[in-house]
Amino acid sequence: MPYKLLFVCLGNICRSPSAENIMNHILTKADLNHAIACDSAGTSSYHIGSSPDRRMNLAAKKRGITLNGSARQFQESDFEEFDLILAMDRSNYRNIVSLDSQAKYQHKVKLMCDFALNYSETEVPDPYYGGAEGFDRVIDLLLDACNGLLDRLVQEEKIAID
Protein backbone atom coordinates (compact mmCIF):
# COMPACT_ATOMS: atom_id res chain seq x y z
CA MET A 1 0.00 0.00 0.00
CA PRO A 2 1.49 3.38 -0.91
CA TYR A 3 1.65 6.16 1.67
CA LYS A 4 -1.05 8.66 0.71
CA LEU A 5 -0.51 12.44 0.60
CA LEU A 6 -3.23 15.04 0.04
CA PHE A 7 -2.20 18.63 -0.75
CA VAL A 8 -4.86 21.24 0.03
CA CYS A 9 -5.31 24.93 -0.84
CA LEU A 10 -8.36 27.16 -1.38
CA GLY A 11 -9.24 26.71 -5.05
CA ASN A 12 -7.26 23.57 -6.03
CA ILE A 13 -6.16 25.33 -9.22
CA CYS A 14 -2.85 26.97 -8.18
CA ARG A 15 -0.88 25.80 -5.14
CA SER A 16 -2.15 22.32 -4.32
CA PRO A 17 -2.12 20.93 -7.90
CA SER A 18 1.41 22.34 -8.16
CA ALA A 19 2.42 20.54 -4.97
CA GLU A 20 0.84 17.29 -6.21
CA ASN A 21 2.54 17.40 -9.61
CA ILE A 22 5.88 18.57 -8.19
CA MET A 23 5.87 15.71 -5.68
CA ASN A 24 5.06 13.23 -8.45
CA HIS A 25 7.92 14.71 -10.51
CA ILE A 26 10.35 14.27 -7.59
CA LEU A 27 9.10 10.73 -6.94
CA THR A 28 9.54 9.78 -10.60
CA LYS A 29 13.14 11.02 -10.55
CA ALA A 30 13.80 9.05 -7.35
CA ASP A 31 12.00 5.95 -8.74
CA LEU A 32 9.64 6.06 -5.75
CA ASN A 33 6.24 6.41 -7.43
CA HIS A 34 5.18 3.03 -6.07
CA ALA A 35 5.81 4.18 -2.48
CA ILE A 36 3.77 7.39 -2.32
CA ALA A 37 0.43 8.34 -3.92
CA CYS A 38 -0.44 12.04 -4.28
CA ASP A 39 -3.73 13.88 -4.70
CA SER A 40 -4.92 17.47 -4.14
CA ALA A 41 -8.11 19.29 -3.20
CA GLY A 42 -9.47 22.76 -2.41
CA THR A 43 -11.41 23.78 0.68
CA SER A 44 -13.75 25.85 -1.53
CA SER A 45 -16.15 24.77 -4.23
CA TYR A 46 -15.26 27.75 -6.47
CA HIS A 47 -13.38 25.90 -9.21
CA ILE A 48 -14.65 22.31 -9.06
CA GLY A 49 -13.80 20.53 -12.33
CA SER A 50 -11.37 23.24 -13.53
CA SER A 51 -7.86 22.57 -14.85
CA PRO A 52 -4.90 24.15 -13.06
CA ASP A 53 -4.57 27.93 -13.58
CA ARG A 54 -2.80 28.84 -16.84
CA ARG A 55 -0.38 31.20 -15.05
CA MET A 56 0.51 28.45 -12.58
CA ASN A 57 1.09 26.03 -15.45
CA LEU A 58 3.42 28.52 -17.17
CA ALA A 59 5.51 28.85 -14.01
CA ALA A 60 5.66 25.06 -13.59
CA LYS A 61 6.70 24.56 -17.24
CA LYS A 62 9.74 26.80 -16.64
CA ARG A 63 10.89 24.11 -14.20
CA GLY A 64 10.03 21.25 -16.56
CA ILE A 65 6.82 20.26 -14.79
CA THR A 66 3.35 19.92 -16.37
CA LEU A 67 0.31 20.36 -14.13
CA ASN A 68 -2.35 17.68 -14.60
CA GLY A 69 -5.65 17.29 -12.80
CA SER A 70 -9.04 18.84 -12.27
CA ALA A 71 -10.16 20.65 -9.15
CA ARG A 72 -12.19 18.92 -6.46
CA GLN A 73 -13.35 19.99 -3.03
CA PHE A 74 -11.89 18.59 0.20
CA GLN A 75 -14.38 16.22 1.84
CA GLU A 76 -14.61 14.66 5.30
CA SER A 77 -13.84 11.18 3.97
CA ASP A 78 -10.38 12.47 3.01
CA PHE A 79 -9.42 12.33 6.70
CA GLU A 80 -9.70 8.52 6.63
CA GLU A 81 -8.44 8.08 3.09
CA PHE A 82 -5.10 9.91 3.43
CA ASP A 83 -2.11 9.41 5.71
CA LEU A 84 -0.97 13.03 5.65
CA ILE A 85 -2.84 16.22 4.66
CA LEU A 86 -0.68 19.23 3.74
CA ALA A 87 -2.27 22.68 4.02
CA MET A 88 -0.69 25.45 1.96
CA ASP A 89 -1.52 28.25 4.43
CA ARG A 90 -3.01 28.74 7.88
CA SER A 91 -6.42 29.60 6.52
CA ASN A 92 -6.49 26.30 4.61
CA TYR A 93 -5.34 24.56 7.81
CA ARG A 94 -8.19 26.09 9.84
CA ASN A 95 -10.75 25.25 7.17
CA ILE A 96 -9.60 21.63 7.07
CA VAL A 97 -9.55 21.04 10.84
CA SER A 98 -12.95 22.74 11.19
CA LEU A 99 -14.38 19.78 9.23
CA ASP A 100 -12.87 17.33 11.74
CA SER A 101 -15.86 17.60 14.07
CA GLN A 102 -14.59 15.05 16.59
CA ALA A 103 -10.97 16.26 16.46
CA LYS A 104 -9.86 12.75 15.52
CA TYR A 105 -7.57 13.57 12.65
CA GLN A 106 -5.65 16.71 13.62
CA HIS A 107 -2.43 14.70 13.82
CA LYS A 108 -2.71 14.07 10.07
CA VAL A 109 -2.91 17.77 9.12
CA LYS A 110 0.33 19.77 8.70
CA LEU A 111 1.45 23.01 7.11
CA MET A 112 3.41 22.41 3.91
CA CYS A 113 6.06 24.96 4.89
CA ASP A 114 6.95 22.92 7.99
CA PHE A 115 8.95 20.77 5.56
CA ALA A 116 10.79 23.57 3.72
CA LEU A 117 14.58 23.23 3.84
CA ASN A 118 15.88 26.48 2.33
CA TYR A 119 12.96 28.91 2.70
CA SER A 120 11.83 30.62 5.88
CA GLU A 121 8.22 31.24 4.78
CA THR A 122 5.65 29.63 7.06
CA GLU A 123 2.89 29.62 4.41
CA VAL A 124 2.74 29.11 0.64
CA PRO A 125 1.41 32.55 -0.44
CA ASP A 126 -1.79 32.68 -2.47
CA PRO A 127 -0.64 33.85 -5.94
CA TYR A 128 -4.11 34.22 -7.47
CA TYR A 129 -4.48 38.02 -7.45
CA GLY A 130 -0.78 38.83 -7.96
CA GLY A 131 1.77 38.92 -10.78
CA ALA A 132 3.87 36.25 -12.49
CA GLU A 133 6.66 36.40 -9.91
CA GLY A 134 4.24 35.14 -7.25
CA PHE A 135 3.62 32.00 -9.31
CA ASP A 136 7.37 31.44 -9.78
CA ARG A 137 7.84 31.81 -6.04
CA VAL A 138 5.15 29.18 -5.34
CA ILE A 139 6.93 26.68 -7.61
CA ASP A 140 10.35 27.25 -6.03
CA LEU A 141 8.97 27.09 -2.49
CA LEU A 142 7.04 23.90 -3.27
CA LEU A 143 10.04 22.22 -4.92
CA ASP A 144 11.96 22.85 -1.71
CA ALA A 145 9.15 21.80 0.65
CA CYS A 146 8.36 18.65 -1.38
CA ASN A 147 12.03 17.60 -1.22
CA GLY A 148 12.00 18.26 2.53
CA LEU A 149 8.78 16.28 2.93
CA LEU A 150 10.17 13.29 1.03
CA ASP A 151 13.37 13.39 3.13
CA ARG A 152 11.24 13.39 6.28
CA LEU A 153 9.08 10.46 5.17
CA VAL A 154 12.21 8.45 4.37
CA GLN A 155 13.85 9.39 7.70
CA GLU A 156 10.72 8.46 9.64
CA GLU A 157 10.45 5.19 7.69
CA LYS A 158 6.93 6.02 6.55
CA ILE A 159 7.69 4.63 3.12
CA ALA A 160 9.25 1.40 1.97
CA ILE A 161 12.41 1.78 -0.09
CA ASP A 162 13.70 -1.47 -1.55
Please list the active-site residues: 9, 15, 126
14 binds ligand 4NP (CB under 6 A): yes
Residue type, 71: A
Q: Residue 126 Cβ, how far from ligand 4NP at the closest point, in Å?
A: 5
Angstrom CA distances, 132 to 10, 35, 57, 128, 139, stand at 19, 34, 11, 10, 11
Q: Which of 12, 21, 24, 57 binds ligand 4NP (CB under 6 A)?
A: 12
| Residue span binding ligand 4NP (CB under 6 A) among the ranges 9-17, 27-35, 60-68, 144-152 | 9-17
CA–CA separation, 63 and 49 (whole Å): 25
Q: Which is nearer to ligand 4NP, 35 or 42 (CB)?
A: 42
CA–CA separation, 84 and 109 (whole Å): 6
Give which of 59, 45, 46 is closest to 141, Cα–Cα. 59
11 binds ligand 4NP (CB under 6 A): yes
Name the site residues for ligand 4NP (rule: CB under 6 A).
9-15, 42, 46, 126, 128
